[in-house]
Amino acid sequence: MELDTEKLDRAALAILSLSLHDENRVWKGIDWAITDRLHEKGLVHDPVGRAKSLALTDEGLAVAEAALNEFFSTT
């Protein structure tokens, strides 16, 4: 099965945003290939490192909020 990685990345970013803390940090319990793509798109800062969380960029925060509403809003 071929996956739409654009939709997958947006959904992953929305789900990551549910663990938002310290203004722009989220727990990085998600596949590294996804975090790498999000980094390449400028939505998260460099995910490589020992930290258990990663930082969303301002654009990443905006995209995460929009994707959360798009995919998971009940209204």
How does pLDDT run across 26-50, given as a tens digit for each residue? 998 899 999 999 999 999 999 988 8
Please state the φ and ψ torsions of residue 74, each to the nearest 5 degrees. Answer: -95, 0
- CATH match for 5-72 among 3.50.50.60, 1.10.10.10, 2.60.130.10, 1.20.210.10: 1.10.10.10
* Residue of 42, 43, 35 whose CA lies nearest to 60: 43
% the chain with pLDDT above 70: 100
- For residue 66, pLDDT over 90 is answered with yes
pLDDT for the residue 29: 87
Q: What gap in Å lies between CA 72 and CA 25, rounded to an integer?
A: 21
pLDDT of the residue at 74: 87
* Percent of the chain predicted with pLDDT > 90: 85
